[in-house]
Amino acid sequence: MTRVALGVSYNGQAYSGWQSQLSGNTIQDKLEAALARFATHRVGTLCAGRTDAGVHGLMQVVHFDTVLDRPAASWVRGTNTFLPPDIAVQWAQPVPDAFHARGSATARRYAYVLLQSPVRPSVEAGRVGWVFRPLDHDAMQDAADRLVGEHDFTSFRASACQAKSPIKTLQPIRITRRGMQAPHHELGWAPCYWRFEFEANAFLHHMIRNIMGCLIAVGQGDKPARWMEQVLQARSRDAAAPTFSPDGLYFLGPVYEARWGLPERTAAYDWLP
């Protein structure tokens, strides 16, 4: 048997998340069906991090075992032949049996892209979150900094979360703005895109979307930055803001030790604002 790792990118708009379901309308279902057609045998995959419905992936990493011995490029081109156009294998690489897509990952990375504009998204619909009120960068960064480190993130955990522990270690959250400098002629502020970057050893179900809801409440002036500490310490989902839209959430991929020799990024990283 040979163990193969794949880097997979996808637009999650049309799918019910990563994990296989009876409907068959998930990324995992589509990928395993394509692999089975190319390999001519049933293929089961394990991923680095499951994503929710509507969430996108720039470099999901999966592994599977196969009796076939084929060049890495063949796994890429052959599998992509049977995948829908919004899912694509970016790279393939044989790995030792000790490698595990989820268990070998030391961290996971996500980005959330948000449009701040008086007008809703059009060409980027489903690919960005949206707010129509201006945001305060310093206030959001202050609030975000209060989450850094090892904490009990129960307040940001969905009721359906299956994680064994709510204690996670969150790295500093990077918030950047990109867009027009001139103010909108009617509003007095400039439309722009915001990018929020997250990295942690692992994430709880809806954790980032719940943090985003709180950051936006702070950014729009509805809550002070110190409120984020109160939400964290409450250890109650009721203390936090509503779960924000999945549209602008991207799984950038897992982090692995260099010894596995796996790619760290795909071309899609350079497309994302």
Residues with catalytic roles: 52
Question: Interior CA angle at 247 toward 265 and 145, to 5°?
Answer: 70
- CB neighbours of 240 closer than 8 A, spacing ≥ 6? 155, 156, 210, 213, 214, 231
How many angstroms separate the CA atoms of 98 and 269, rounded? 28
DSSP state of 182: S
| Residues present in the chain in total | 273
How many angstroms separate the CA atoms of 21 and 100, rounded? 22
Q: Burial level of 163, CB count in 10 A (0-12/13-18/19+)?
A: middle
